[in-house]
Amino acid sequence: MNPIRVWAIARKEFIHIIRDARSLGMAIVMPMLLLVLFGYALTLDVDKVPLVVWDQNGSETSREFISRFDGSPYFSLRQYVRAYPEVERVIDSGQALAALIIPTEFASLIESGRTAPVQLIVDGSDSNTATIAIGYANVIAQTYSQEIALREMHRIHGSTLHSPLDLRPRAWFNADMQSKNFIIPGLIAVIMMVIAALLTSLTVAREWEMGTMEQLISTPVKPRELFLGKLVPYFVIGMFDMLLSVLMGEYLFNVPLRGSVVLLFAMAAIFLTGGLSLGMLISIVTRSQLLSSQLAMIVTYLPALLLSGLMYAIPNMPKALQVISYVIPARYFITILRGIYLKGLGLEVLVVEAGLLIVFGTIIIVLANMRFKKKLV
């Protein structure tokens, strides 16, 4: 392999990228735009659940109970209603996700030491959000019930009672329990995979469509040199995109980076090489820019978004999809990024995922070189 010929091809590709504003824009602006859009729009946090209340009792006791919901960061009291038709209207129109209905005898039942039924109606269209909202309401109701029981026992026995169990939860690695700290590292992996494949999916196909492939074939450049020369410019751009993504995660989204920066970029380089090689393979096989870009999106974006564990836990997927996820390289890179970002893990823990990324990159590079021939047919 002649490094001079490799540099000549790389220089030619650099010049083409600089002169083509669209390619340069897609290479640099698009990752930043995707990270901003997904970073702000995609969240797993459920808070400020819109709530309406029908207080049929109207007593001080019922108002105290309602204040527990109103003062919670997980509920947002929107309005009071006076009948079931109003409850149905606000939930059907999307003005509220849940409705709290307090019966007429609420205060008298509480004061007499009996159980007071309270109804919570939840819009179950979004089952995940509804389940979490019901969980929040259960915690508030149970806490209120315990406080009433303790006050009653104190009134009767004249002594302060304490709960026999003192649970002190402590969240490691994401102490603020913010979903963006979990999502942003995964988004970086998905965006890098998509951008890498899209960038190189047009390279060889463009040469065929512009009629310049015949000129390259007539030169003494070997297929491996041509492959590497075309890969180098996009690798540089991809690593620059990775740098921008890390800086945006640090300073725009305030996602803590607890692990080694060197290890982070080393793993990104391995992953990026595989993604770029995949785009080259698609371009070599299709020889069409339109078909290459469409196929690159199908092969990279959808699997990386849905089957990598970015938004959906892989163990909760059907068995068939769990098996398919093993061949999705973004799955391993997301695990690496989250381990480095949130837990500060080193290579001794992430060696399996790193090894699988190397295997993926090696296989794709070998396949691309086998498919690329200096022939017109």
pLDDT of residue 358: 95
Structural contact between residues 219 and 226, judged by C-beta atoms closer than 8 angstroms: no
Domain positions in the chain: 8-43+178-371, 49-157
pLDDT band of 157, cuts 50, 70, 90: low
pTM metric for this prediction: 0.81
Q: Which residues have CB under 8 Å from 266's CB, separation 6+? A: none
In terms of Cα–Cα distance, which of 163, 161, 164 is closest to 152? Answer: 161
Q: What is the pLDDT of residues 234-289, one digit of tens each?
A: 899 889 999 999 999 999 888 989 999 999 999 999 999 999 899 888 888 887 87
The CA distance from 57 to 362, in Å, is 70
What class, spelled out in words, does domain 49-157 have in CATH?
A: alpha beta
Report CA torsion sign: 193, 196, 197, 198: positive
pLDDT of residue 294: 84
**Mean pLDDT in the chain?**
86
CA angle 137, 143, 146 (to 5 degrees): 140
Better-predicted residue by pLDDT, 194 or 348: 348
What distances in angstroms separate CA 306 from CA 116, 201, 309, one per listed residue?
A: 44, 21, 7
Structural contact between residues 224 and 369, judged by C-beta atoms closer than 8 angstroms: yes
